[in-house]
Amino acid sequence: MTEEKMTYDEAVQRLESIVAQLERGGKNLDETLAMFEEGTQLLRQCQTELSEAEGRLAELSLDDAESMVKDEE
Amino acid sequence: MSSGPQTTTGPLPIGQFVKLVQKTVKQDPLFQHQALRGEVSQWNVHNGNVYFKLRDDDGQLDCVIWRSARIKVESTIKEGSDVVVIGGLDLWPKRGNLQLVVRKIEPVQTIGALEEAKRALIAALKDEGALDRARMPLPGMPKHVAIITGAGSAALSDMKRLISNRWPGLRTTVIGVLVQGERAVNELVRGLAVTRALSRTDVAQKLGLPPVDAIIIGRGGGSVEDLWAFNLEPVIRGILASPVPVISAVGHEQDILVSDLVADVRASTPSNAVELLVPDRHSVMMMMDDVDMRLIEAVKRRLGELRQQLMLLISQLKHAPGKGVFRAKEQLAVLGNRMKRGAEHSISIQKQRLTRLEATLSASHPHRVLERGYTMVQNDDGDVLTTLASLQQGQTVNLQFADGRAAADIHTIEPKEEEK
- Report if residue B311 sits inside a domain: no
Sort out which chain A residues have CB atoms less than 8 A from B151's CB and list them. Answer: 59, 61
Which of B108, B125, B151 is the C-terminal boundary of a domain?
A: B108
Q: Do B203 and A59 touch (CB under 8 A)?
A: no
Give per-residue pLDDT as tens, B301-324. 888 888 888 888 777 776 665 566
Count: domains in chain A:
1
8 Å CB contact between B133 and A17: no
With a CB cutoff of 8 Å and minimum separation 6, the contacts of B49 are B64, B65, B66, B67
Residue B185 has pLDDT above 90, yes or no: yes
- Report if residue B357 sits inside a domain: no
**Dmax over Cα atoms in chain B, in whole Å?**
219
Query: By residue range, what is the domain housing residue A23?
Result: 8-72
**CA gyration radius for chain B?**
61
8 Å CB contact between B207 and B254: no
Which of B232, B248, B279 is the C-terminal boundary of a domain?
A: B279
Alpha helices per DSSP H over A2-53: 8-24, 29-52
Domain shared by B93 and B121, yes or no? no
β-strand partners of A60? B175
User: Can you tell me whether residue B109 is helix, strand or coil?
Assistant: coil
Q: Tell me the C-alpha distance between B244 and B196, whole Å.
A: 8
**Closest listed residue to residue B261, CA positions, set B116, B115, B123:** B123
Domain shared by B72 and B163, yes or no? no
Q: Please, what is the average pLDDT of chain B?
A: 86
Q: Do A32 and B163 touch (CB under 8 A)?
A: no
- Report if residue B179 sits inside a domain: yes
Q: Tell me the C-alpha distance between B344 and B340, whole Å.
A: 6
Residue B219 has pLDDT above 60, yes or no: yes
Distance from CA of B243 to the nearest CA of A (A): 16
Burial of B46 (0-12, 13-18, 19+ CB in 10 A): exposed
User: Can you tell me whether residue B312 is helix, strand or coil?
Assistant: helix
Q: What is the pLDDT of residue B174?
A: 97
**Closest listed residue to residue B69, CA positions, set B87, B53, B56:** B87
Residue A1 has pLDDT above 50, yes or no: no
Q: Can you tell me the mean pLDDT for B220-236?
A: 91
Residue B215 has pLDDT above 80, yes or no: yes
Residue B1 has pLDDT above 60, yes or no: no
Residue B420 has pLDDT above 50, yes or no: no
Higher pLDDT, B340 or B270: B270
Give per-residue pLDDT as tens, B64-117. 999 998 888 888 888 888 898 999 999 988 888 899 999 989 888 777 778 888
The residue of A12, A13, A15, A22 whose CB has the most chain B CBs within 10 angstroms, and thus the best one to mutate to test that interface, is: A22
8 Å CB contact between B302 and A32: yes
**Closest listed residue to residue A19, CA positions, set B301, B299, B282:** B299
Q: What is the pLDDT of residue A51?
A: 85
Q: What is the pLDDT of residue A2?
A: 45
Domain shared by B261 and B140, yes or no? yes
CATH code of B121's domain: 3.40.50.261
Confidence of residue B150 (pLDDT cuts 50, 70, 90): very high
Write the single-letter amino acid at B313.
Answer: L
- Ranked by mean pLDDT, the top range of A50-54, B44-48, B404-408 is B44-48
Burial of A48 (0-12, 13-18, 19+ CB in 10 A): exposed
Query: By residue range, what is the domain housing residue B415?
Result: 367-419
Q: What is the pLDDT of residue B346?
A: 67
Q: Do B298 and A19 touch (CB under 8 A)?
A: yes
**CA gyration radius for chain A?**
20
Confidence of residue B139 (pLDDT cuts 50, 70, 90): very high
pTM check: above 0.90: no
Question: How many A/B residue pairs have CB atoms within 8 Å?
Answer: 123
CATH code of B88's domain: 2.40.50.140
Give per-residue pLDDT as tens, B363-407. 666 666 677 677 888 888 888 888 888 888 888 888 888 788 888
- Report if residue B262 sits inside a domain: yes
Q: What is the pLDDT of residue B4?
A: 45
Q: Tell me the C-alpha distance between B214 and B64, whole Å.
A: 50
Domain shared by B194 and B275, yes or no? yes
- Report if residue A63 sits inside a domain: yes
β-strand partners of B174? A59, B147
Higher pLDDT, A55 or B210: B210
Q: Do A18 and B295 touch (CB under 8 A)?
A: yes
Q: Which candidate from A12, A49, A72 shows the least CB-CB separation from B203? A: A72
Q: Do A62 and B302 touch (CB under 8 A)?
A: no
Q: Can you tell me the mean pLDDT for B236-257?
A: 91
- Report if residue B22 sits inside a domain: yes
Sort out which chain B residues have CB atoms less than 8 A from A61's CB and list them. Answer: 151, 175-176
Give per-residue pLDDT as tens, B255-276. 789 999 999 999 999 999 999 9
Higher pLDDT, B279 or B350: B279
